[in-house]
Structure formats: structure tokens, C-alpha cells
Structure 1
Amino acid sequence: MASVTECQILEFPRIHDPRGTLTPIENSRQVPFDIKRVYYLYDIPGGASRAGHSHKQLQQVLIAVSGSFDVHVDDGRERRVFHLNRPHQGLYVPQMIWREIDNFSSNAVCLALASLLYDEGDYYRKYADFLRAAEEGA
């Protein structure tokens, strides 16, 4: 069973030069899985909350490539909050962790790296369903 203690901030390389900074992210090097899907959230209205779900198998890394936001993680027993605001850091979220994202700054962009292609069957969208599965050790 996953635990919020497995959620951790990953540091990505930064290559600086006078033209700016580049941060490379490669499969199974900077993230603990092969990346199958990439998507990003932007133009989030003030006060909005995103996510509010868990995945049965999918793992993710969430990155604030612009601005900042908070990620609330919950394993059914313990909760933690991570504030993301650096494009060279990402939050690793294993499977079976409930996540909610809020407190978006103006112009925030949340980049998500996912271990699986989109599959609606991989989601717990109701917290009660997630808690039941977490208690059963799904």
C-alpha cells in the first residue's frame, strides 16, 4: 500500500548559460518510471481546485513550470501538503495516493508526467471509493 511518505520532491538538473536555463527530464533517470503521457494545466481561475482523484496504477510527477501551487496528498491515513514553485523540482506521486491541487498563483502552469496512457478505469474519482480501496489494500 502506498504512503504519503513516498511522495517526494525530485530535483532535476539545471544547465545554466547566458541565454537562460535548461532542465532536461529523461525516462527512468530523473523520474522513477517511463513517461507515457505528458499534459499540463493552465489558465486556472482564482480559487479553483484541480485533481481530486487517485489512480490505481498510474504514477505521476507534478512540476510548477511557471508560478506556484499546492499539492495535497492523502493515503487514507495521513495527509501532507507540498508547495511547488520551482521549475527544476517535481513532486513524485505514486499510485493509490489521493491528490488535490489548489492555491494556484497567477499564470501558474502545472506540468504532469505520467507513467500510463489515459485510462478512465484507473481512476478513483470519489474519495469514499478511494478510502475503501485503501483500507482493503488495493
Structure 2
Amino acid sequence: MKVLIVYKSYHHLNTEKVAKAMASTVDAQLCKAEELSQHNIEDYDIVGFGSGIYAWTFHRELVKAIQSLNGGGTKRAFSFCTCGNVTLKYEKMMEQLLTKQGFNVMGHFCCLGFDTFGPYKLIGGLNKGKPNEKDLEKAKEFIKSLIRRI
């Protein structure tokens, strides 16, 4: 099973931690969003897309990378994110984008990440230490469950 994980991780590298945990579990290829043009998604059985949440949306570099692709209606994909507030449903936003680009969306993973956006910086940030080992284990279980379904 060939897996490509495309991600954008910026401020605290929260999403990179999740991407690396997933990749190590299924021997996936990691790719930063800005380097996606160097890969042919047709070479992979499933492609994951993830970023932190910046001002209530996925990072613009990741969105731009996805918009440059055509999943052809059959290419399997999943999404993931790290954010300051998991009660907001970011997966719908990503599912709509991936579906519009012709991907068959298999699932979404989200966990808390250390967040110093806006006023949170004044109080030293939210979710210090996140994602933690428990979060990374959940990310590993998520990707294993996706692979079992294929």
C-alpha cells in the first residue's frame, strides 16, 4: 500500500508531529504542501492532506496544493488537522474541497495543538504540550484503520 501524506506545519510544528506519526506507522512518504508538484499522486493508493488551522481555516499553501490536483473521482484521500479548538468541525471544509477536486474522502483526524493565535499569545497559549503521545497514538490508530478498509 503506497501512502502519500501532504502537510503544511508552520508555527509550532504540531501538524508535522501528527504527519510523522502517521507516516511511521504505515511507511508513508511525507511531502510538504509546497513540494507537492514533485510527486505524482497517481503513484499512491491513498493521499492524506493536513495542516494546522490558521484563522479558522486550513493553511493557504495546503489549499492551493489541493486545488492544483484532480483526483479523478476515484483517488482515495483523507484529511487531518491540529487546532486550538476541536469543537469546530473543520473536516466538512476539507471534505468539500477534496470532493470538489475529485477525491473519494475516506475520513478525517483532528486533535488539539499548541495555539498562540491572537489573544491566546497574551496568556501563554492554549493546549501546551499538545499534540501529546496519546494524540499521536490516536493518529496512528486512525491511519491503520483507514488502511484496513482499503
Task: Provide the TM-score with structure 1 as the length reference.
Answer: 0.31
- Specify which structure has the higher proportion of strand: 1
Q: Bigger relative contact order, structure 1 or 2, given CA contacts below 8 A and separation 6+? A: 1
- Specify which structure has the higher proportion of helix: 2
Task: Provide the TM-score with structure 2 as the length reference.
Answer: 0.29
